[in-house]
Amino acid sequence: MFVDVAEIWAQAGAGGAGAVAFRREKGVPRGGPSGGRGGDGGDVVLFADPGVATLLDYSYRQHVRAGSASHGEGNNRNGADGEDSRLPVPAGTLVSDAETGDRLGDLLAPGDELVVARGGRGGRGNASFAAPVNQAPRRWEPGEWGERRRIRLELKLIADVGLVGAPNAGKSTLLARMTAARPKIADYPFSTLTPNLGVAFLGPGRSFVVADIPGLIEGAHEGKGLGARFLRHIERTRVLALLVPADSKDPQAAFDMLREELVRHSAVLAALPHCVVVSKQDLASGKAEGGNLRAPGAWASHAVSAVTGEGVKELKEAFWSKLAEEPTPELKPLPPRDGAGSTRVPPADSASLPPGGRQDGSPGAGVFDSLDEWAP
């Protein structure tokens, strides 16, 4: 099952509280303060995993929580940090705050990571407050609560060439002819229900990725058919191929409809370089009509037959030459925006977690001179 949008709640771990303790050594009165600081809470981290293809797992797992930290202890022992919660997502996942709409980052290449909820800072123990004028402090800090945020995950496939066309335009057949992909092929509309990817290989060091999306119909940008949902997957392609079947009743109208839908969907798609591919050339009656298309702005026009292989090799070479001309986009993940759209609040079962600081998430967790001054 192909799932390309999901929303989850991310709860980072709470920081541990600092300790109040004094060393007990023979011949050393009071021994001095020895309360260690609490550990830092675990973060919720997303990372791009090449072994993950969809966001299906997050249709079932909608609440994620990182580990909370341990408290500080005597003898200057600091508390252990909470364990991070690391969530694998497909490369090409866009991450945003579901409540504010702020864009948090983009995981584009395998190994990219993004912290979406930061763990609470651990509190200082009384050893940290020792000073010449206060050699036996009883001051300490509780830890902070971790951030809690509702995030939206949106998958946008990354490919070099995007195949765009109406239902039954021959996109899946062309993808299967150009690459080793084996999409579903049938003689009825909308046989492609999910995007498909394949790698076109021309020789050593000469290959590119091709994406095939479900067919577009008129009004796809308004949500008709399947196109509106999947058009996002070709926003990251470098060039587009608009397929017009040679047996169309009106090839010109078919091409104009595709361009109109791309333009109305987004300015990103409208600006992508595109060529015209007149498919199904094995249907001889349509050859003449396909060659008369008016396609202003298109960088080339090709006639192919995915069934017989006519023109496919030339089309692959044309794609490779065009990709060599187009600069490779420098897509880099955005840095995490600490605190944007997030809150530091105790989880539902906060009684079992280390004490947190102020629930408004302000930097200072608060300093207490005795245990009696702090109420969890």
User: Closest Cα partner for 128 from 29, 36, 23?
Assistant: 36
**CA-to-CA distance for 95 and 103, rounded, in angstroms?**
6
In this structure, CATH architecture of domain 1-156+330-376: Distorted Sandwich (2.70)
**Contacts for 167 with CB less than 8 Å, ≥ 6 apart:** 189, 190, 191, 214, 215, 217, 225
What is the average per-residue pLDDT within 347-369?
41
Q: Where are the alpha helices (DSSP H) in 223-274?
A: 227-230, 251-265, 267-271
Place of tokens 């089309």: 315
Q: What angle do CA 318, 302, 261 make, to 5 degrees?
A: 100
CB 37 within 8 Å of CB 92: no
Label the pairing between strands 85-89 and 44-48: parallel
DSSP H or E run through 320: helix 312-325
Both tokens of residue 241?
């191929």
Residues 3-55 pLDDT 10s: 778 899 999 999 999 998 888 777 666 578 888 999 999 999 999 888 887 78
Residues 296-333 pLDDT 10s: 778 888 888 888 888 888 888 988 888 888 766 554 44
Label the pairing between strands 147-155 and 93-97: antiparallel
**How much of the chain, in percent, has pLDDT values that exceed 70?**
74
Residues 124-158 pLDDT 10s: 998 888 888 888 888 888 889 999 999 999 887 77
Task: For the chain, give every domain's residue range.
Answer: 1-156+330-376, 161-235+239-325
Residues 219-269 pLDDT 10s: 554 555 555 556 666 777 888 888 888 877 788 888 888 888 888 777 777
DSSP H or E run through 319: helix 312-325
- For 161-235+239-325, give the CATH class: alpha beta
User: Helix count (H) and strand count (E) of the chain?
Assistant: 7, 15
Higher-pLDDT residue of 112 and 228 is 112
Both tokens of residue 146?
């971790």
